[in-house]
Chain A
Amino acid sequence: MVQGFLPNGGGSGGRNPYKPPSGKSTIHGSPGLLTSTGGLFGLNFKLLMPLFDSVFDKTYCALIDPEDNNCEEEAFYLFRQEDVMPSRFISVHKLIVVYKELGPAKFSIGVQVYNRDANKFYQTSKQVEIKNRQDRTAPFPDGKLRELPVDFVIEGERPQVFIRRKANSGPLCITRVHMIGKADQKDIV
């Protein structure tokens, strides 16, 4: 027998639907039943954190909402320093960011390098924007993986990628970053 889906979503058993007994209930309330003072049904739960705000001199329970990743503070992620060719100059000319589209967002991505001659660190970055386009037919945001190429040139040792996003600049969800460049292969003399 082929198991079919029923309109009500139940299984195709042989029983008739349950019919509750009709007529007036014979169950009486308990004479000692005490009623609750206020209270809630327990239909909705939230993650709350008691805080004191020193600017507004107020106490409140902060709502931590995992459906909203538009963090109200600056966010920063630093990748490791890469010894592409130890103690040699390299140049980085492209980054590719694979991200999941959660909504409009702005952030900066860049590279920091070390210059031995100047004994200094240098960095370059570009601000990129995730936004809707007028010619786009797909809904925005669609939660799908998309790519952003970022082009610039920086030269030095031990390149280190960083991501910086200012406060309230939209939700960010990065799954992969490529750092692409060329390394100096001359002998050290």
Chain B
Amino acid sequence: MPPQVTQSGYFEQIYQGPYKGVHASLPENMIPEQMSPLIQNFILKNAELRTRPRMSVGILGTPDGYPIDVIESFQDSNTAFHTVIVNRRGLWQLNPNFANNPAPDWNLIGVFPVQPGPDIPVAHVTFLNKFYWTNGGNNLWVWDGITSSGIPTIGNPFPWPANSRVFVGNRVIDSNGKVELCIQAGWTGSAHPTWSTTVGGNTTETTVSPHVPAAIWVMNGAPAPASGFYGAAMVDALNGITAGGFYLGVLASRMLLLSTIEGSGQSGVPYQQRIRWSASGQPEIWDANVNIGAGWVDLLEVPDFITGFLAIGDKTGFVFRNNGISEMTSVSDGILPFDFNHLWASDRGIGNVFPFSISGYGPIGMFIASDDIYNISVGGFKNVGGPARDAVFADLAAATSTPLSAMVPKWSDRYAYLVYLLAIPFGVDTKFWMYSLEDGSWTTWLKKNVTITGRANFVATK
């Protein structure tokens, strides 16, 4: 509404919230009064125009100066929290005394077998109290945050322990130098059992008296690379083929590897249409010869490549491709546990064109397709670019490197504000487009002289 002019010519225009964000799709004199043609470094929560929170140096990086690819906190099986980062060198953990100089901010947990390691944004999940990640190599790495007094170096091959209680998923190296995974919790005996030498062969502990029951192990092939942490995805245990990839997910108690890289040693071949899943509840068993619950599929019936994954609930997930989306539904616990339904009848449709633009929070996800920015949830798809879409796309077209997104539900314990934060590199600066899922508004931030290297995350610091 334009301001009302009285007979004397007096007018008064009032601007007040809730403010609705950037509007770049109409002339500046035709947009609603709560919208703006240009916003920089303001947030609009609670009907206020508030300067955005300060971004200051919270924790220094690692001494090697490599970019931080991911930051995440997980809780180990002792309920201790670990805040970890991954860079080209390896895995680091936050020192609880980081704020007290001269204590180092980060302690090195382990290094990649080949230096320097890959340096792309890392896909990661926490599954059964362990931190799993993969970053474009042929390994899925895992660290459990735990060591024992019997192990001199974290992540070294875990020796078989005598007279000990072990649990499903525990991993040891048998007397033949092979990886054994516990598939039935119980006790180990006083001496090594006769280990099966066949991949997928089971071994039941002997000499367990007086403790019962005896633990049962399954042989999972040669040890995957271990260096402070270890490789978990042995997809062909007989031939020592391991897999890593670009995206990770969890669906129906199985871990998923998408757009995989597979090979032996440290080299691999990319399979950009491949999805692998682990055995149910066994994220370190990926070979169907070891456990029939593990498996893989190539989406050869669609012409494009996988660009991300988002789970919407426990049974259904969406596999994103450049020009489409495939619905992935858990249908059984058998040999073929998933059904794939490729959405859209045409060969080009709503897909995810920027691999790292996908972010999710619970059942809500956001991604960028060719025609708009979409919000995906249990209720379906909703395009949310709105009047800011053209401006966001203009910035994406001018990006000097890969855009990276994060979904932030909480900014501090006292400040909840669910937003999608899309970082677009512009030379040495970074421009952020922030979409508030509460207000449905878009605003921009600018941060000079920095490049974002990993997704923002709400992590433990004490």
Chain A residues with a Cβ under 8 A of chain B: 30-55, 57-85, 90, 98, 100, 102, 158, 160-161, 163, 165, 171-185
Query: What chain A residues lie within 8 Å of B455 (beta carbons)?
Result: 49-50
Is there an interface contact between B61 and A58, defined as CB atoms closer than 8 Å?
Answer: yes
Q: How far is the CA of A70 from the CA of B444 in the complex (A)?
A: 16
**Contact A180/B15 with A45-B460, A62-B58, A171-B51 known, Cβ cut-off 8 Å:** no
B453 at the interface (CB under 8 A from A): yes
Q: How far is the CA of A52 from the CA of B109 in the complex (A)?
A: 22
Is there an interface contact between B82 and A31, defined as CB atoms closer than 8 Å?
Answer: no
Q: How far is the CA of A90 from the CA of B9 in the complex (A)?
A: 9
9 closest A-B pairs by CB: A63-B58, A59-B61, A39-B80, A50-B68, A50-B454, A44-B462, A49-B456, A75-B41, A81-B29
Query: What chain A residues lie within 8 Å of B462 (beta carbons)?
Result: 40-44
Contact of B35 among A37, A51, A80 (CB under 8 A): A80
Is there an interface contact between B96 and A39, defined as CB atoms closer than 8 Å?
Answer: yes
Is there an interface contact between A45 and B9, defined as CB atoms closer than 8 Å?
Answer: no
Question: In whole Å, how far is A92's beta carbon from the nearest beta carbon of chain B?
Answer: 9
Q: How far is the CA of A182 from the CA of B69 in the complex (A)?
A: 57
Question: In whole Å, how far is A97's beta carbon from the nearest beta carbon of chain B?
Answer: 10
**Contact A68/B53 with A61-B59, A176-B16, A179-B12 known, Cβ cut-off 8 Å:** yes
Chain B residues with a Cβ under 8 A of chain A: 2-3, 5, 8-17, 27-29, 31-33, 35-42, 47-62, 65-71, 73, 75-76, 78, 80-83, 85, 87, 93-96, 107, 109, 145-149, 154, 161, 163-166, 406, 408, 410-415, 417, 428, 430, 445-462
Is there an interface contact between B2 and A83, defined as CB atoms closer than 8 Å?
Answer: yes
Q: How far is the CA of A128 from the CA of B41 in the complex (A)?
A: 19
Is there an interface contact between B147 and A60, defined as CB atoms closer than 8 Å?
Answer: no
Q: How far is the CA of A177 from the CA of B48 in the complex (A)?
A: 11
CB-based nearest A residue for B423: A49
Query: What chain B residues lie within 8 Å of A67 (beta carbons)?
Result: 53, 412, 414-415
CB-based nearest B residue for A173: B50
Q: How far is the CA of A89 from the CA of B430 in the complex (A)?
A: 40
Is there an interface contact between A62 and B57, defined as CB atoms closer than 8 Å?
Answer: yes
Query: What chain A residues lie within 8 Å of B60 (beta carbons)?
Result: 58-61
Is there an interface contact between A60 and B58, defined as CB atoms closer than 8 Å?
Answer: yes
Question: In whole Å, how far is B353's beta carbon from the nearest beta carbon of chain A?
Answer: 23
Q: How far is the CA of A65 from the CA of B51 in the complex (A)?
A: 12
Is there an interface contact between B452 and A51, defined as CB atoms closer than 8 Å?
Answer: yes
